[in-house]
């Protein structure tokens, strides 16, 4: 289990499909650029992508994205601008795990 402090409220969990991506920085010196890339991706999706480092290892980052469907996710990332951003991201960080699920925020009840 990973514990994450997100950079924003995870509105992604309000969507029908949730993408969960685990990244590991290839070099800690890439942290600033990786966070800039993830922030740009979040802005491109109107904050439907949120991210943060894990509490256990600051070089591991969890990204949570909200999508209308799995197909909508793949269609979006195939477009030229997001595709170029993602390609640069994977030069700087390793994609350790990616999955889609229907998740809901924990309300503590």
9 vs 41, which has greater pLDDT? 41
Closest-CA residue to 47 (of 15, 81, 83): 15
Tokens 């402090």 correspond to 5
The rounded distance, in Å, linking the Cα atoms of 4 and 99 is 17
pTM above 0.75, yes or no: yes
pLDDT of residue 49: 87
User: Which of the four pLDDT bands, split at 50, 70 and 90, describes residue 50?
Assistant: confident
Non-local (6+) Cβ contacts of 20 within 8 A are 62, 63, 64, 97, 98, 99, 100, 101, 103
pLDDT of residue 95: 95
User: Which pLDDT tens digit goes with each residue over 8-27?
Assistant: 566 777 889 999 999 999 99
- Count of C-beta atoms within a 10 Å radius of residue 72: 14
């Amino acid at each position: 289990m990973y514990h994450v402090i997100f950079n924003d409220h995870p509105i992604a969990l309000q969507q029908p499909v949730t993408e969960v991506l685990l990244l590991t920085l290839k070099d800690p010196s890439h942290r600033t650029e990786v966070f800039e890339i993830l922030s740009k991706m979040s802005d491109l999706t109107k904050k439907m992508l949120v991210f943060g480092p894990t509490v256990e290892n600051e070089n591991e980052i969890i990204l949570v994205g909200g999508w209308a469907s799995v197909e909508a996710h793949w269609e979006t990332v195939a477009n030229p601008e997001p595709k170029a951003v993602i390609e640069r991201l994977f030069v700087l960080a390793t994609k350790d795990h990616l999955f889609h699920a229907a998740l809901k925020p924990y309300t503590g009840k």
